[in-house]
Amino acid sequence: MGIILKNGKLLNEQGELSIKDLLIVENRIVKIESNIEAEADHEVVDLNGHFIAPGLVDVHVHFREPGFEAKETIETGAHAAVAGGYTTVACMPNTRPVIDRVETVEFVLHKAKQANLARVLPYAAITVRQLGVEHTDFAALQQAGAFALTDDGVGVQSTKMMVEAMQKAKALGMSVVAHCEDNDLLPPGAALHDGVTAAKHGLPGIPSASEAVHVGRDILLAEATGVHYHVCHISAKESVRLVRDGKHAGINVTTEVTPHHLLLCDEDIPDSLDPNWKMNPPLRSREDRDALIAGLKEGSIDIIATDHAPHTSEEKAKGLKRAPFGIVGLETAFPLLYTHLVEKGILTLAELVDKMATKPAELFGLPYGKVEVGAIADLAVFDLTTEKSINPDHFKSKGKNTPFAGWVCKGWTVLTMVDGKIVYNN
């Protein structure tokens, strides 16, 4: 038994596309050739010249379960993932209860296994209930299947708590992943970047320093402890500079950027102050956005992650001040970035695939992100030519909260395979 994917386009080492067939047996790619002859027990799927990429890997999603199932469940989130070409995703622990105990890690893994769609890897919280007061049991959480450690949603305010967490994580070979935000620098009720749009509307703004101060602190702590330290959703030019300097100094620091921070800035926010433009960190200045693109191109920024953050329509309808932070991203990330970075010559297709699949797997020691003989058959197939507009009503996610509604893109997912099994076929 096996599956032959016929007439797909693969990137070669020169970054060019050529037509190939893939033979998948059980969960591995066993052959990549120009024309594989089908045998009686082979299922043949004709890809009609569409692009075959390694399954995308997102190290930053919010699937909301347990506790906030009205926003998203592990099943609906995993469905959104495979509809966007993602085969492996890591879900954040700011659920209720927080993913800070062995039982909750096991609950997430069980729900993901039941859904049988994308591979879902749970983060564990650094501190109990993410309160920043007491460390969780890292060793027990790791043994239960925790992917890495983070208090995402809040910054770890205590330097002492953070350095001790890094020491413990280093001893276990775990990564520390940080939402960088110094609460002392946040004005009450701030919802936008401290920039032109906040000033125009007379609103308090979130300063870039609130992020950069923690980035700088933690890079120094990572140097002292030797831990792998990863910065979530980087947004400010100062933070990019600090990461670049840290890398040059040989510190094990990596970072991710979201599609929305690459494509939008605070000047783009409509005068209606639509809460679908409210996210944390906020959309920053045009200069910040340019620094993020430059950082991604040069390698200071390692990978792209969506920070997929679904909320209900009722919550987002509460207006800018009261609506929760966050937008969805799993189903639109590849089309948006292919259309607005690759088609415009900012990144090559090979670079985009590296940032969305190969490099995230490498950074966190996962055996995915490759299309080669012997590799696990995690694959995403994209239509790079058909244009379609983004319609939140068609999302598999429960969340419809996106500022990209109506944007016309190419690069839509036509097929996703996880572990040798087709889990999405459009």
Q: What are 84-120's pLDDT values in tens digits?
A: 999 999 999 999 999 999 999 999 999 999 999 999 9
| Residue 40: predicted pLDDT | 86
- Classified as helix, coil or strand, 235 is coil
Give the CA radius of gyration of the chain.
Answer: 21
The Cα diameter of the chain in Å comes to 70
Between the CA atoms of 346, 351, 355 and 356, what dihedral angle is there, to the nearest 10 degrees?
A: 100
Alpha helix positions (H), 249-285: 259-263
**What would the DSSP string read from start to end of 143-173?**
HHT---EE-TTS----HHHHHHHHHHHHHHT
Whether residue 42 is annotated as binding a ligand: the answer is no
> What pLDDT score does 1 carry?
85
**Residue position matching structure tokens 């109506």:** 406
**Hey, which CATH number is domain 2-51+376-425, 2.60.40.10, 2.30.40.10, 3.40.50.1980, 2.40.50.140?**
2.30.40.10
Q: What is the pLDDT of residue 289?
A: 98
Q: Is 193 marked as a binding-site residue?
A: no
Predicted pLDDT of residue 13? 85
Domain residue spans of the chain: 2-51+376-425, 56-368
Token digits of residue 370: 């490759």
Considering the candidates 266, 307, 354, 383, report the single residue annotated as catalytic.
307
pLDDT value at position 15? 87
pLDDT at 52: 98
- pLDDT attached to residue 14: 87
307 assigned to active site: yes
Q: Is 340 annotated in some ligand binding site? A: no
pLDDT digits (tens, 9 = 90+) for 391-412: 999 999 999 999 999 999 999 9
Please check whether residue 93 is in contact with residue 63, taking contact to mean a CB–CB distance below 8 angstroms. no
Confirm whether residue 311 is marked as ligand binding. Answer: yes
- Give the Cα separation of 60 and 152 in Å (integer): 9
- The correct CATH number of 56-368 out of 3.40.50.150, 2.60.40.10, 3.20.20.140, 1.10.3720.10 is 3.20.20.140
As a whole number of Å, the end-to-end CA separation of the chain is 23
382 is in an annotated binding site: no
Residue 222's pLDDT band (boundaries 50, 70, 90)?
very high
Average pLDDT score over residue span 327-339: 98
Give the pLDDT mean for 286-298.
98
Give the pLDDT confidence of 141-174 residue by residue, as tens digits. 999 999 999 999 999 999 999 999 999 999 999 9
**Mean pLDDT (whole number) for 326-339:** 98
